Structure 1
Amino acid sequence: MEYKGVVSLICPLLLEEQSFKITLSGLGPQPQERKERLWTPTELRSWLGQDVPPLMSTQVPPKQRSGNAVPSQVPLRTHVYLELQGQTQTALADTGAQENVMSAGMAKKLGLQVHRDDPSPHQFENARGDPMCTTGYTTVGCQFKDQPENRFPLKFWIMPKLVVPLVVGRRFLEETSCLTTFRHRLKKLKAIGKFTARILHLELPRKRLQCRIDGQMVAANPDTGSDLNLMSGWYARRSNFKMRELEPDHQYVEFADGTTAQLSGVVRVPFYIGSYEETAQLRDFYVLEGLTSDVLLGSDTLEELDAFNSYGDTFFELNEFDARCDFHYIRWVVKSENETLWNTPFSKIEFEALESGK
């Protein structure tokens, strides 16, 4: 069944156990604009009590929920096991990254030579555009356990204050087919006990995913190295989204170089990838002032939707080119009672490994 422009007709349909499409004409900034979305009764019930139905929510923000928001669960992080220098090492898999990065401590542990003679050393950016410089690069032989006969050189840029030991980027993951043919190589590691939520993004060139948030088209930044979805403060205000406050212990995040920032809050909005025919889902996006992209999608969302396989045709490369790389690595920082930032070193965190391949 189809209705045009009369959103009050949504309510009687909430009792029907079926999905249906509603077309709105004459809404939005363009008079002739038509918006179509498929909504299930369960999704519409979740919006009961709002003054305006979600199909018109590009004009009116959702109501603020009572109470402060907290993360719903401990995030699962995507890693790859690599054989380096005869040792098995765990590398964070970041599809938002183009280059591979290694901490200075890991390079020393593996006994690798760091070359500092590169005529054009890379300068990376964190999630807010602050520069992070490398001290050089190293090259090391690498192999997978399931293909020990296939050994290949792998280049890593060295960062002195990298808060994780190893990062492998999208180029590596695509060339080794870890995202498609060999998905069994991707492992999900779950932090046990106290943890810090992280977002890592290192990208050159910049790859984006075509999505819609509350009916608005947006080029989202896909980042499997991120624990959470992010939204810039500018985009949240422009879209007139209502923010919920965060609990004090979950207001701070940490970047790749160990610096911290405070989140402004969280918004919950309808989200889906691709065309209007997809069923929208309510997603939380944490608001970070100064975020260099409007929206950043984290590991849990990308994994749950199998974005790189199911929505491959919705990815695209931005036309502009920047000599600097984005390196957006963020994790939660728990604030203790004495107002100091508490952070467990990455090497001290215990992990539970879970299979992520199908």
Structure 2
Amino acid sequence: MVSMDSNVSQYMAQLGFLPVGENHTNSGPHGDFKIDVEPPRAERSRLFSDLKLLHTEEVSRLHHECEHEARTLDIGRSELVKASEANNEWLSGTEAMLSLTNQADSQRETQWETDRMSLETLLDDAQAAQEQVAHSFKKLDAIKQKMEAARQRQIASIERVGLGTHSLAHSIESAAASTGAIPSHDSSTGTPSLLEEYYDRKGDVGVIRESLLELERDYHGGLSGRDLSKYKGEILLLSDHEYESAYRSKRDKLEQALLQAEGDVDALCRDLTKTGQLDPHSRLSYRFWETAPTPARSPTPVSHGPKFDPDIVCQINGVRTSCFPDTGAGANYMSPACAKKYGVEIDKTRTSYVKVANGGKIKSVGSVVVQLGFMNEATLHPVEFVVLPKCRQKPIFGSPFLSLTKTLTRYRHRITRILRNAISCRVQYLGAPRQLVYGTLDGNAVLALPDTGSDVMLLSSAYVARHGLTVDPAASHQRMLDYADGSSSRTSGMVHGLQWRYGDSLDEIYSADFYVLDDLQCDVLLSYDFLEATQAYTAHENAFLDVDEADVLDDCDSLCTVVLRPEISTKLKLRNLFSKSKGPTNEELQALDASTSTGSRPLNDQTWSERRRRLLQRKEDNESAALRLPPSDRQATLARFKKQWEIDWIALMCQQPLEMQQADGAGTSS
């Protein structure tokens, strides 16, 4: 049990609060107490003023401690200046000794040798002095870190005192407004009030978040230290795999604890809001906490806890680095600074324009080809990156590379999650989409863009107008979005409670709120949090479509119809898959006829399933073979493989067993 300060205990006793028995196991911000007798109003006001004075004195004491630390820092700086001056004197003496040695060299050879040895001794002393100065700089940095830690502790202390004041003031105001007995602790059970428990859990949330940030700092600092030790040839106590495993284990435990604490805070907030004990939109709530409590209705199946970014650790030209997997990017991208870091020369003859989510364009600097290998994997891949002048610090893996390497599906262990300490909303849409996911949104078939680089769910204003959706234009439902080119814009509102289904699934339905963006370059955009919460890449892998830039139709509903309605004609399927407004070429039709010349009668289940398995395996083998080719030959080979594979796939769909065709027809009609 947390013991109260004697002065605080005295004033709270005079206010009518009595300590609770020792059988309590929980405590509030200022200890456990209950209200016995309500004191007179004037006496209560005077005592409450004295309590505020105690709070002010505590803050003043903490301020004086910080001033003392600042004076200590100034003294350290003065000592550092003196050390630097002494070092300069040593250097001056060294230069003078060198001059004397040169003059005496022509007169006495033996004396010159003696002076030379003395000079070497002085040089060693000077080097030692320089190392001492460097050590002093390190000590100064350590002092700065301690100062920052002290400042954070001071802020936390002030917040705790402020929260206690807020809780006590709320209790006193409730007592003054009540005409009957004031509800307090249940003396029979020893259960603390919900308000105290709410603030306790809020404090736990802040502590866990700080622990996560500290873990991330220690992890990346440890990576730098390990790289330095490897460079020096030192023996590491832990292997790379053991180091990563230990980090992931600690991070997972903290994330689980944070999600649990966030859930407790949300539940307590709803209970307190219903009883009128807490206003989630009050100024005090925003003063001490980062965000207002979560409303009772969750707009998406995504946690309202901390924000995380996906991260892939790999080796680029032998340099260990972190990369960002972005399914909303049509290619791989990096900044000129990254290209310089990896020691590659930019090919400035290969420039292009890249479109961002709001329609803006960025002109690329050029492109580079690097040797890339995933961690704990021996294979190296030649990978091409487009160099953008305004690009995030990490290299970006686009959708084609992620699909080709199966990083989002079969090899998801390559992806880790790191805490993102930011409050802005990003939409990292770059270039033409290369992967879409089909599904239904409120019963309307749609091709959506899955964007792991986006923090929000988006609809285009054109899609909203086309389907007659109702937009809530309230300011609280508008967000400022940051784009990959450094620009930003504000959404125009929100559409609430839309029902999303992956593919033609009838079982799993997800309710989500979407922000509306006027110039969005696609109809529907799904955020990273939504994709992760719904396990899109594992549970709904079959709903994803890999497309080329030329395959994106002006009318996406036609392609969606191809996927959702298997009974339409084979030629229309082929026309939409190849995205040619004038239809397939004669060669393509002849290839399709050759594939179906053996007869398009339905096969039995076993034969059809075996052919389907072989066809899917052939696709994987072709992609793996293309991955080993140089980047210049890779795209053409993939396009050739893809065209023939799609023809064979359509032919197989025409021979689908009758039971499956009837089931598909029933799903479509429903």
If the length of structure 2 is used for normalisation, what is the TM-score? 0.35
Deviation digits for residues 332-355 of structure 1, max 9, x if unmatched? xxxxxxxxxxxxxxxxxxxxxxxx
Cα root mean square deviation, aligned: 2.9
Name the count of aligned residue pairs: 253
What is the alpha-carbon distance in structure 1 between the residues aligned to residue 505 and residue 343 of structure 2? 53
- In 2, are the aligned partners of 1:124 and 1:202 still within 8 Å (CA)? yes
**Larger radius of gyration between Structure 1 and Structure 2:** 2
- In 2, are the aligned partners of 1:163 and 1:257 still within 8 Å (CA)? no
Residue of 200, 203, 222 corresponding to 2:450: 222
What is the alpha-carbon distance in structure 1 between the residues aligned to residue 532 and residue 339 of structure 2? 30
Residue of 342, 352, 357 corresponding to 1:127: 357
- In 2, are the aligned partners of 1:76 and 1:227 still within 8 Å (CA)? no
Structure number with higher relative contact order (C-alpha < 8 Å, ≥ 6 residues apart) = 1
What is the alpha-carbon distance in structure 2 between the residues aligned to residue 198 and residue 189 of structure 1? 16
What is the alpha-carbon distance in structure 2 between the residues aligned to residue 167 and residue 87 of structure 1? 16
Paired residue type of 2:374: F
- Cα gap change, 1:229/1:171 in structure 2, threshold over 3 Å: closer, same or farther? same
Question: 1:77 matched to which residue of 2?
Answer: 309
- Cα gap change, 1:74/1:287 in structure 2, threshold over 3 Å: closer, same or farther? farther
Residue of 384, 392, 406 corresponding to 1:163: 392
Paired residue type of 1:79: D
**Residue 338 of structure 2 corresponds to residue 144 of structure 1:** no
Residue of 272, 275, 284 corresponding to 2:504: 275
**Residue 418 of structure 2 corresponds to residue 172 of structure 1:** no
Paired residue type of 1:197: C
Question: 2:320 matched to which residue of 1?
Answer: 88
**Residue 413 of structure 2 corresponds to residue 184 of structure 1:** yes
Question: 1:213 matched to which residue of 2?
Answer: 441
Question: What secondary structure sits across from 1:174 in the alignment?
Answer: helix
Question: What secondary structure sits across from 2:463 in the alignment?
Answer: helix
**Residue 522 of structure 2 corresponds to residue 293 of structure 1:** yes
Deviation digits for residues 3-52 of structure 1, max 9, x if unmatched? xxxxxxxxxxxxxxxxxxxxxxxxxxxxxxxxxxxxxxxxxxxxxxxxxx
Question: 2:483 matched to which residue of 1?
Answer: 255
Deviation digits for residues 78-119 of structure 1, max 9, x if unmatched? 22112124332111101233310001222233333111123x
Question: What secondary structure sits across from 2:383 in the alignment?
Answer: strand
Paired residue type of 1:236: V
What is the alpha-carbon distance in structure 2 between the residues aligned to residue 136 and residue 246 of structure 1? 43
- In 1, are the aligned partners of 2:348 and 2:366 still within 8 Å (CA)? yes
Greater share of helix:
2
- In 1, are the aligned partners of 2:478 and 2:492 still within 8 Å (CA)? no
Question: What secondary structure sits across from 1:150 in the alignment?
Answer: coil
Question: What secondary structure sits across from 1:127 in the alignment?
Answer: coil
For residue 205 of structure 1, report the CA deviation from its aligned partner: 5.9
Question: What secondary structure sits across from 2:331 in the alignment?
Answer: coil
What is the alpha-carbon distance in structure 2 between the residues aligned to residue 89 and residue 164 of structure 1? 11
What is the alpha-carbon distance in structure 1 between the residues aligned to residue 477 and residue 440 of structure 2? 30
Question: 2:333 matched to which residue of 1?
Answer: 101
- In 1, are the aligned partners of 2:439 and 2:503 still within 8 Å (CA)? yes
Question: 2:589 matched to which residue of 1?
Answer: none
Residue of 314, 319, 343 corresponding to 2:543: 314
- In 2, are the aligned partners of 1:97 and 1:168 still within 8 Å (CA)? yes
Residue of 446, 460, 464 corresponding to 1:236: 464
What is the alpha-carbon distance in structure 2 between the residues aligned to residue 108 and residue 250 of structure 1? 39
What is the alpha-carbon distance in structure 2 between the residues aligned to residue 291 and residue 312 of structure 1? 25
- In 2, are the aligned partners of 1:242 and 1:267 still within 8 Å (CA)? yes
Structure 2: tracts of 5 or more residues without a match: 1-294, 553-670
Deviation digits for residues 127-175 of structure 1, max 9, x if unmatched? 122221101111222112211x222222111011113431001222223
Question: What secondary structure sits across from 1:172 in the alignment?
Answer: helix
Greater share of strand:
1
Deviation digits for residues 281-308 of structure 1, max 9, x if unmatched? 2102111111111101111111222222
What is the alpha-carbon distance in structure 1 between the residues aligned to residue 316 and residue 549 of structure 2? 35
Percent sequence identity over matched residues?
A: 29
If the length of structure 1 is used for normalisation, what is the TM-score? 0.63
Question: What secondary structure sits across from 1:95 in the alignment?
Answer: coil
